[in-house]
Structure 1
Amino acid sequence: MSAPSSSQTRTTQDRYYTRVSSEPALIERVEPTVWGSESSAGMYGAQELHGHAEKGFSQVPQLLTPDEVAGYAAELDRLATDPLVRADDRCIVEKKSDEVRSIFEVHRISDAIARLVADERVVGRARQILGGDVYVHQSRINYKPGFGGGGFYWHSDFETWHAEDGMPTPRAVSCSISLTENYEYNGCLMIMPGSHRTFVSCVGETPEDNYRSSLKEQEIGTPDPDSLTALANRHGIAMLTGKAGSATFFDSNCMHGSGDNITPYPRSNIFIVFNSVENACVEPYYAPRRRPEYIGARDFTPVR
């Protein structure tokens, strides 16, 4: 009998195997969504934490004041037009245009956003959800300008962070803070409520330097149509609209995406990923090597 291949070995050792089989799979999650006590004191109340555990996400209307929104919007404009930022690898432009799509590791580029990351309104909620100290796994600005801002196809962030960054379990939460009005028609965030309980194992091996193309348009690590249909039929699709200054916290394994923005109304947001310090990344599970640190951090210092 021949020895098992390395991919077979990894698959048998790892519950959340992906990109190693020719067939997709739906794998039920065993870890909690809210790791802390729902009765713990903090920015969230017990009912809000319970709702987050059930749906996989929670919305915070008007997390920022109008004056704060204006200040951060000006900061986004400054960063997008700074030639040094535009020339940096951390700046990603749209596939079909020269407009800025995302700027990564933005909390290390902007002092204003660094202060926002450490704001108790933001990090305090992440600590409540994840049950203790957290660090920033990733931060970025997403720009979705009118008349051409590209969408993000359906995906689970944890699938990519597990496969390519070495995140062991889905003990991470994302915070998306809107700086523009989110309408149903300008490419708002869509989430399948409850989908965070099911991991979708994807097909197709991770190529070398996959991040160079996936940050503009993800192909590897996207679920198959049958799996997406099954989750949508089971959970439905929520369109997350809201005013500028509102925020959405959502579990790393939520199935989510957004459409192209063909309206005149831009949609931009600050996006921060908090990971538990007890869930620090190891070597990638299903990729030849780690992604750059500005995409998947290796500094596990807790946010203070």
Structure 2
Amino acid sequence: MLDREEILAFQRDGYAGPFDLPESFVRPYCTPVFAKSVVDHLVAEIEAGANPFSDRLRNQHLFSESLCALASEEGLLSRLSSILGPDILLWVGHVAPRWPDDEGHRWHIDADNKFIRGVHVSIALADNREENGCLRLIPGSHHHRASLTAAERIGLIDRMNTESVVAYADRVAPHNAPHQVRPMTMRRGQYFLMAEGMWHFVGRNETPEWRTNVIVRYARPDIACRNYGYDESEMIAGEPLACVLVRGEDRFNLNKIVPSPTTDLFQLDRDGPMPPDAQIPLSHRA
């Protein structure tokens, strides 16, 4: 569970952590065997012509027993229950590797997480540092009633320019100025929780190694999980999203609940040694 101060900080700042996963639990996910199986899966899907937002690329928790198990770690779910309550749905889950010189992602608000009022969790399978493009966020920005997509559309901000976005935050929420950017650095095996509506950015990976995280999102079952696309300036509900009930029960029947997978896209090395450092160099065809 989160303690009282952590809950208050999450409500105020929009994030909590980082926290540690048990080393024996997370170790198989940090080995070259798992990393190679991730890259092989991604390459095979892309070469087969898969859409980057297809289920087997974006919603791997529906097809991977190991990924679903990682997202269901007891300590993680216990902390989530402090925010979401006893009943928890997993509705997004995928491995997100950032290859060397990856450009990252401009400042944005996750539309689906905002409208579903979910909790975004990023799990580090390699060290997350500023130089390899760790996620950056603006504390308190989840309270701001502004759309970054709409602001860019009418020329108020440049979402690739951090100074532009911070200045805009100061304008829309002067009571919280001056806004600061918080780099979410983590050691491998750590994770943090992020609130819906947070303004965040992923920088360029300026190192020669891959930086690999697992992205998972959770919600309460009394919220209908739908595809809201990527424009947070308008709320247009799309198709229902398949969810795995990872804790508690669903008493509302608003969502498409599917069983946890019993097969796997990836391979775990449960007995192999932990690599000596946090970075796992890989080629596309490793």
Please give the range of the TM-score, normalised by the shorter of the 2 chains.
0.5 to 0.7
TM-score when normalising by structure 1: 0.64
1:67-125 residue CA offsets vs partner (Å, 9 max, x unmatched): 623435432420321365443736569xxxxxxxx931111222111112222222222
Match of 1:89 in 2: 50
Residue in structure 1 matched with residue 130 of structure 2 by the alignment: 184
The aligned amino acid for 2:210 is: P
Kindly report which structure 2 residues correspond to 1:130-209, keeping only aligned pairs within 5 A, or say none: 130-146=84-100, 148-157=101-110, 159-161=111-113, 167=115, 170=117, 172-202=118-148
Q: Does 1:44 align with 2:2?
A: yes
Task: Summarize deviations over 1:231-288 as a string: whole Å, max 9, x none.
Answer: 2653210111121011010001111111111222321100101011122235859477
SS at match of 2:189: coil
The answer as to whether partners of 2:15 and 2:193 remain within 8 angstroms in 1 is: yes
Amino-acid identity (%): 20
Unpaired stretches in structure 2, ≥5 consecutive residues: 159-163, 171-176, 249-286
Compare 247-256 and 228-237 and name the one that shifted more: 228-237
- State the distance in 2 between where 1:149 and 1:125 align: 31
Residue pair 2:112, 2:228 contacting (<8 A) in 1 also: no
Please list every run of 5 or more consecutive structure 1 residues that lacks an aligned counterpart in the other structure: 1-42, 94-101, 205-218
Residue 267 of structure 1 pairs with residue 211 of structure 2: yes
Give the corresponding residue for 2:238: 290
Q: Which runs of 4+ in 1 moved over 6 A?
A: none
Q: Distance in 1 between matches of 2:201 and 2:22?
A: 24
**Distance (Å, rounded) in 2 between the aligned partners of 1:68 and 1:301:** 21
For residues 25-66 of structure 1, the C-alpha deviation after alignment (integer angstroms, 9 at most, x for no partner) is xxxxxxxxxxxxxxxxxx222222122122110113322416
Q: 1: CA distance between counterparts of 2:194 and 2:148?
A: 21
Tell me if structure 1 keeps the 8 A contact 2:60–2:67: yes
* Residue 80, structure 1, aligned to residue 39, structure 2: yes
Contact 2:113–2:120 (CA<8 Å) still a contact in 1? no
TM-score, with normalisation over the residues of structure 2? 0.68
Structure 2 residue matching 1:271: 3-state secondary structure: strand
User: Does residue 230 of the first structure (1) align with residue 168 of the second (2)?
Assistant: yes
Query: Counterpart in 2 of 1:108?
Result: 62
Q: What code does the residue aligned with 2:238 have?
A: R
Q: Which residue of 2 aligns with 1:54?
A: 12
Secondary structure of the corresponding residue to residue 57 of structure 2: strand
Matches within 5 A, 1:25-44: 43-44=1-2
Map of 1:249-268 to 2, 5 A cutoff? 249-268=193-212
